[in-house]
Chains A and B, each alone.
Chain A
Amino acid sequence: MTVEQLRKIAAEKADLIRVRRIVREQAEKLAPRTGYRKQVLVCGGTGCTSSHSLQVIEQLEKSFKELGIDDILIVKTGCFGLCALGPIMIVYPEGAFYSQMTPEHAKTVAEKHLVKGGSIVKELLYADTVHEDGSVIPFAEIPFYKHQMRIALRNCGVIAAEDITEAIAAGDYSALAKVLTEMTPEEVISEIKASGLRGRGGAGFPTGLKWQFTRDAKGEKKYVCCNADEGDPGAFMDRSVLEGDPHTVLEAMSIAGYAVGADEGYIYVRAEYPIAVQRLNIAIKQARELGLLGKNIFGTGFNFDIHIRLGAGAFVCGEETALMASIEGKRGEPRPRPPFSAQCGVFGKPTVLNNVETWASVNPIILKGSEWFSSIGTEKSKGTKVFAVGGKIKNVGLVEVPMGTKLGTIIYEIGGGIPGGKKFKAAQTGGPSGGCIPAKYIDIGMDFDNLVAIGSMMGSGGLIVMDEDTCMVDIAKFYLEFTADESCGKCTPCRVGTKRLLETLEKITSGKGEPEDLVKIREIAEHMKSSSLCALGQSAPNPVLSAMEHFGDEYEAHIKEKRCPAGVCKSLLNYYIDPDKCRGCTMCARNCPAGAITGVVKGVHEIDTSKCIKCGQCMANCKFGAIYKK
C-alpha cells in the first residue's frame, strides 16, 4: 500500500468516526454524510462481554431485521472505561449513553428509539446523563469523562476494534507513514526524547533514551518487543488498549523498528486475556494483508513483522529479562543486568521493550509533536496516565488523566466517591510492588516522583480504593501471599524473604504478633531491597513498609491489643448479637453451621463465642442488622 492509498481509506470513513467524537449538534449535521442514519456502539471489551454485551448485539441485529431497520450501523468497540455500568451502548449522533444493557433493553431501545422517528428511552440511560428536568446530557460532559484526557485510550470505545479501516480513519498508521516518508531514525528518536515520554509499565524510564541505547548498540539483527504481560492484579489498561485499538501498538512498534534498526517484533501477552489475543491476531493479519506489516512498507524499503507470544501465568515475566527468557521458550527467570537488553535482549540481540500504554502514546506524539505532548502533565512526568480504578469506589473503570491530577479528583469527581457512605481510608497504587496512599495525601498530584516520595509508586497504574472496612495488615498479607507465590525462586533474598515476611504477617493477623516482629520485618525488607536479583524481590516489601509507615497504629492494635480495628482478621474477632435489634426470627440460628447460636422464636438470640467458627453466615442472613463483630 502507498501513503496515498492509506489517505484514501482514512478519508472514506473519516466522517463516520468524526460523528463519534464531536458534540451533538455538529454530529447531527454530519451524520447524513456517513451513509447511516445512526450508529450504535456496543462495548465488546472483557468487562462488558462478561456481562453479556454480545447478546445485546445479537438482539439488536434480530430486532433490526424484524423492524426493517437497515440504515443503522452496529459497531463492536473496545472498552468505554466505565466498566461498573456494563454492558454499555452508545447511540450516535445523539450521544445517548445506555448502561447495564440486557437483550430485553436492547429490544426496547430498537423499538422505541432506533426506529424512524423514535426518541431516546430515558429510563434506560445512565442516570447521570439525564437532568432532573428530563433533558439529556451528552455523555462526554458527565463528571466521569469531563475530567479525563484520552491520549492512549483515544480510540478505545470509538472504533470497531476488528476493522483496520476504522483504525486508519481514526489516525492509526498515519504516524508510521509520516515517519517513513518524512523523518530520519535520529529525528524520530529526538522527537520521542523531547516529548518527555516515560515508560508506563512501572519503572518510568525515558522511552526516547531506551530507543537511543538500542539504536547505538552494535549488531545487524535487533528486536522490538511489547510488554503486554499485565500481571499487576487490578490493572487492566493494557488489555483495554489491545482490545480497543490493537493497531496503535503494531504501528508504534513499527515506528520503533525504523528508529532503532529492527525488522522483527514480539508481543508478549497474558494468556488470561483471550479477547485481546484474538484482536491482536486479527489486527496482525489485516495489517499484513494491507502491507502495513511485512516487506517494503509504503514502498520505502522498510521491512517489519510482528509475532505474538503467549504468557502462561507467571507474574515475574513482566520483568524484562524474564519476559525475554520466556519469549525464547525458557523458564521465565530474570538474570542479572548488565548486560542490559538494549545490548543483549531477545535471543542475545539488542532489543527495545516498551509497555502497551507507552506504545499507545507514540502515534499522537509523532502526529501532534513533542511540544504538544510535553505541555501536558508535570515537570518530570509528561503526558497522561491511565489508571484502573477499582475496589471500594462507585465508578469502577479506566480513567486517563494528565499526569499530576489530584488523587481526590480521580476518586471523588471521576470515580464518584465511596459507595455506602463509607470513609475513604487509602488508595493502593503500584500493585504488589507499590504502596498505599493514606487519606491525608488526597491532594497529592499523581505523577512518578510524587508517588515515590511518599513510599508508593506509579506502577502500571492500578489504583485500588480502600474504605474503613479494609484492614491494612490483611492487605499487606494479601500482597505478600501474591509475591511469595510468584517469586520465581532463583535468588535467595526474594525466595526466602517473601516467605518469611508472609509468615510474620500471618503471625500478626492471627493474634500471635510480638513487638519484635516489626523490627524483624524491617530487617528482612532491607535485605530484600538491597540484594534481590530483580524488581519483584526488591519491591516486594513495599506494601508492608508503606502500610507500617502510614497505618502503624493498626499494626500496634493487632500486636499489643490483639484487635483488628477494621474487623477483618478472623482470629481477632468475635461475633455478637445486639439484644436491642434482635427480633428472634431464628434465621441466624438456622444458618449457623456450628450450632453456636441459641434462642427461642421471638426471643433475643445469643452466640456462644467458644463454638463460633467466625464464618459470618449469621451476619449475612440477619435482616435486622443485629449482628456485629469486634
Chain B
Amino acid sequence: MTEITFEGTPEQAAALKNCIDEHRGEAGALMPVLHEAQNIYGYLPFEVQTVIAEELNVSLAEVYGVATFYSQFSLAPKGKHKVSVCLGTACYVKGSDKILEAVEKQLGISCGECTPDRNFSIDSCRCVGACGLAPVMIVDGEVYGKLTAKEVAGILGKYLED
C-alpha cells in the first residue's frame, strides 16, 4: 500500500485499507469506498484518491471523475462545525434564503467556504425531508427548525464557545 504523506493517521490508513479489502472484487465498489473514505478522513484528499485508484485497479482519472461528479464528495476539508442550510423548495418558500444570508453574515464567509480557523464551514443542501419544520438549518447533524434569521446568531454562538 502506498504511504500516505498528508496529515492522515496510521489508524485512518488502516481503516481505509480495511474498507478497500471489504469491497475488493465487488462490482461497482468505487462509490461505497469513496463514501467510507470520506467518513474516515472528512474529505477526499488527492493522496487518498491515489490509494483508492491503485488498490481498486482503476485509473486516478476515473476516481477523480466520480469524486468531483457528486456534490456530497468534497476534495477540500470542511470546518470543525458543519453548518448546512436547506434550500429545498419547502424551506425556500418559507424564506430559507434569508437564513443562509444570516449565517454567511455571522460567519463572514460564503456558502461552500470554510472559516480561516477551520472552525465553521457553510453548505446549502436540497431537502433533508424535515419539511414540517421549514425553514431548517443543520449544524453537525442537529436540526434547527422553524427558524427566523434573528435566531441564527444565538445558535451559532453555542458552537463558538466549544
Residues of A within 8 A of B (CB): 46-47, 50-51, 83-86, 231-236, 239, 271-273, 309-315, 326-333, 347, 388, 390-392, 396-397, 428, 431, 462, 464, 466, 470, 475, 478-479, 482, 488, 615-616, 620
Tell me whether A616 and B34 are in contact (CB under 8 A): no
- B72 in complex: contacting residue of A83, A312, A333, A475, CB < 8 Å: A312
Inter-chain contacts of B101 with A (CB < 8 A): 615
Tell me whether B126 and A84 are in contact (CB under 8 A): no
A343 to chain B, nearest CB (A): 19
Chain B CB count within 10 A is highest, among A312, A332, A347, A431, for: A312
- Give 7 A-B contacts (CB < 8 Å), ordered by A residue: A83-B131, A85-B132, A313-B71, A329-B31, A331-B65, A333-B69, A478-B89
A388-B131 contact given A310-B32, A329-B30, A462-B89, CB 8 Å threshold: yes
A233-B150 contact given A313-B72, A332-B69, A466-B93, CB 8 Å threshold: no
Q: Nearest B residue to A49 by beta-carbon distance?
A: B143
B121 to chain A, nearest CB (A): 16
Inter-chain contacts of B90 with A (CB < 8 A): 233-234, 390-391, 396, 464
16 further contact pairs, Cβ within 8 A, besides A51-B145, A396-B132: A46-B130, A83-B133, A85-B132, A86-B133, A233-B89, A234-B90, A236-B127, A310-B32, A327-B31, A329-B27, A333-B69, A390-B134, A391-B94, A470-B93, A475-B93, A620-B149
Cβ of B6 < 8 Å from any Cβ of A?
no
Q: Nearest B residue to A465 by beta-carbon distance?
A: B93
Q: Nearest B residue to A392 by beta-carbon distance?
A: B93
Task: Report the Cα distance A330→B68, complex, angstroms.
Answer: 11
Inter-chain contacts of A84 with B (CB < 8 A): 132
Tell me whether A233 and B66 are in contact (CB under 8 A): no
Task: Report the Cα distance A21→B62, complex, angstroms.
Answer: 52
Inter-chain contacts of B87 with A (CB < 8 A): 233
Inter-chain contacts of B71 with A (CB < 8 A): 312-314
Cβ of B136 < 8 Å from any Cβ of A?
yes
Cβ contacts B128-142/A at 8 Å (1 or 0 each): 111111101000000
A239-B132 contact given A428-B89, A470-B93, CB 8 Å threshold: no
- A50 in complex: contacting residue of B69, B89, B125, B133, CB < 8 Å: B133
Task: Report the Cα distance A310→B72, complex, angstroms.
Answer: 11
Tell me whether B127 and A234 are in contact (CB under 8 A): yes
Tell me whether A47 and B131 are in contact (CB under 8 A): yes
Tell me whether A47 and B93 are in contact (CB under 8 A): no
Q: Nearest A residue to B68 by beta-carbon distance?
A: A331
Q: Nearest A residue to B97 by beta-carbon distance?
A: A478
Inter-chain contacts of A327 with B (CB < 8 A): 28, 31
Cβ of B73 < 8 Å from any Cβ of A?
yes
Tell me whether B143 and A50 are in contact (CB under 8 A): yes
Q: Nearest A residue to B130 by beta-carbon distance?
A: A50
Inter-chain contacts of A391 with B (CB < 8 A): 89-90, 93-94, 134
Task: Report the Cα distance A333→B65, complex, angstroms.
Answer: 11
Tell me whether A347 and B27 are in contact (CB under 8 A): yes
Tell me whether A431 and B89 are in contact (CB under 8 A): yes
A392-B94 contact given A50-B145, A327-B28, CB 8 Å threshold: yes
**Nearest 6 pairs between A and B by C-beta?**
A83-B132, A233-B88, A312-B70, A390-B90, A329-B30, A50-B143
B55 to chain A, nearest CB (A): 14
B73 to chain A, nearest CB (A): 6
Cβ of B43 < 8 Å from any Cβ of A?
no
Task: Report the Cα distance A315→B88, complex, angstroms.
Answer: 12
Tell me whether B143 and A314 are in contact (CB under 8 A): no
Inter-chain contacts of A482 with B (CB < 8 A): 126
A397-B28 contact given A313-B72, A392-B93, A482-B126, CB 8 Å threshold: no
Tell me whether B89 and A332 are in contact (CB under 8 A): no
Task: Report the Cα distance A470→B34, complex, angstroms.
Answer: 40
- B69 in complex: contacting residue of A85, A314, A396, A431, CB < 8 Å: A314
Q: Nearest A residue to B33 by beta-carbon distance?
A: A329
Tell me whether A312 and B35 are in contact (CB under 8 A): yes
Cβ contacts B81-110/A at 8 Å (1 or 0 each): 000000111101110001001000000000
Inter-chain contacts of B132 with A (CB < 8 A): 47, 83-86, 390, 396-397
Tell me whether B133 and A313 are in contact (CB under 8 A): no
A312-B73 contact given A50-B136, A391-B93, A396-B134, CB 8 Å threshold: yes
Task: Report the Cα distance A347→B89, complex, angstroms.
Answer: 34
A47-B34 contact given A312-B72, A391-B93, A462-B89, CB 8 Å threshold: no
Chain B CB count within 10 A is highest, among A50, A232, A314, for: A50
B41 to chain A, nearest CB (A): 15
Task: Report the Cα distance A137→B89, complex, angstroms.
Answer: 34
Cβ of B155 < 8 Å from any Cβ of A?
no
Tell me whether A236 and B93 are in contact (CB under 8 A): no
Inter-chain contacts of A428 with B (CB < 8 A): 89
Tell me whether A312 and B129 are in contact (CB under 8 A): no
Task: Report the Cα distance A397→B148, complex, angstroms.
Answer: 21
Tell me whether A315 and B126 are in contact (CB under 8 A): yes
Inter-chain contacts of A272 with B (CB < 8 A): 72, 125-129
B35 to chain A, nearest CB (A): 6
Task: Report the Cα distance A331→B87, complex, angstroms.
Answer: 24
Task: Report the Cα distance A234→B34, complex, angstroms.
Answer: 27
Inter-chain contacts of B131 with A (CB < 8 A): 47, 83, 234, 236, 388, 390, 396
Task: Report the Cα distance A347→B28, complex, angstroms.
Answer: 9
Task: Report the Cα distance A234→B89, complex, angstroms.
Answer: 6
Task: Report the Cα distance A51→B70, complex, angstroms.
Answer: 29
Tell me whether B126 and A231 are in contact (CB under 8 A): yes
Task: Report the Cα distance A388→B134, complex, angstroms.
Answer: 13
Inter-chain contacts of A50 with B (CB < 8 A): 128, 130, 133, 136, 143, 145
Tell me whether A488 and B69 are in contact (CB under 8 A): yes
A388 to chain B, nearest CB (A): 7
Task: Report the Cα distance A92→B42, complex, angstroms.
Answer: 44
Inter-chain contacts of B27 with A (CB < 8 A): 328-329, 347
Tell me whether A46 and B34 are in contact (CB under 8 A): no
- A47 in complex: contacting residue of B31, B32, B133, CB < 8 Å: B133
Tell me whether A271 and B72 are in contact (CB under 8 A): yes
Tell me whether B126 and A233 are in contact (CB under 8 A): yes
- B35 in complex: contacting residue of A234, A271, A392, A478, CB < 8 Å: A271
Question: Which B residues between 59 and 83 are near A, CB-CB below 8 angstroms?
Answer: 62, 65-66, 69-73
